[in-house]
Amino acid sequence: MPTIRRVERMIRVLKHRQPDLTVVCENIHDPHNVSAILRSCDAVGIEQIQLLYTDHEFPKLGKKSSASAKKWIDIRRYQHSEDLRQALKANHFQIYATQLSGHSVSIYDIDWTRPSAIIVGNEHQGVSDDALQIADQSIYIPMLGMVQSLNVSVATAVILYEACRQRLINGQYPNPELTQEKLSSMLERWQEKG
């Protein structure tokens, strides 16, 4: 059973959870990258992430590499991009895929205060054509150097902190839509985790 101090911390953290912001990790090879993404997700209050693994095995995420972030974030697994799209659209998410192309929009021109899902692709091919098909818009991170790529976990963190910045300005932290009933339900689950 967690101490009173631990429960108070859980409540503070839960009040900042953003159920309408999520990340989709698509076929990411290195479990350390997925773990780093989980830590960034926890840091900005993401409640749930999606793993889309269509041609790779789901990663094994250890406690050590994720710094226990996986303990505090719900993970949904999908093997088909269309199933993922249907689940996200049922919850009114705009779906963004990271891709450097002539049609991509800067992450600074996106309204991240709306329900948003961010698809990040694997270390070698990026976001697949199948996943691009379910996206409403492709996005890119403006870069000023010779190299036009970032590690997938770093890129995810950059995007998430732009979303966090906009949501802070918009008054979405703490989450004004969080009901006492939802908070109690989440707290009960977290207390079981410790």
Q: Where are the domains of the chain?
A: 4-186
**Mean pLDDT of all residues in 4-29:** 97
**Upper half-sphere CA count for residue 10 (Cβ side, 13 Å):** 22
Structure tokens at 15: 């009040």
CB-based contact 47:15 (threshold 8 Å): no
Query: Counting runs of H as helices and runs of E as strands, what totals does the chain give?
Result: 6, 7
**Going by C-beta distance under 8 Å and a sequence separation of 6 or more, which residues neighbour residue 3?**
none
**Going by C-beta distance under 8 Å and a sequence separation of 6 or more, which residues neighbour residue 151?**
33, 123
Q: Rounded to an integer, what distance in angstroms lies between the CA atom of residue 131 and that of residue 15? A: 32
pLDDT at 63: 61
Q: Which of 32, 21, 37 is nearest to 120 (CA)?
A: 37
**Where would I find the H helices in the chain?**
4-14, 31-43, 81-90, 129-134, 152-169, 180-193
* Per-residue confidence band for 64, with pLDDT thresholds at 50, 70 and 90: low
pLDDT above 90 covers a percentage of the chain that reads 86
- Domain 4-186: which topology? Alpha/beta knot (3.40.1280)
Strand partners, 187: none
* Per-residue confidence band for 2, with pLDDT thresholds at 50, 70 and 90: confident
CB-based contact 60:83 (threshold 8 Å): no
What average pLDDT does the structure give for the chain? 94
Q: Rounded to an integer, what distance in angstroms lies between the CA atom of residue 128 and that of residue 39? A: 24
CB-based contact 171:15 (threshold 8 Å): no
Structure tokens at 119: 């698809």
**What would the pLDDT profile of 77-134 be if each residue is shown by its tens digit?**
999 999 999 999 999 999 999 998 999 999 999 999 999 999 999 988 999 999 999 9
pLDDT at 65 over 60: no
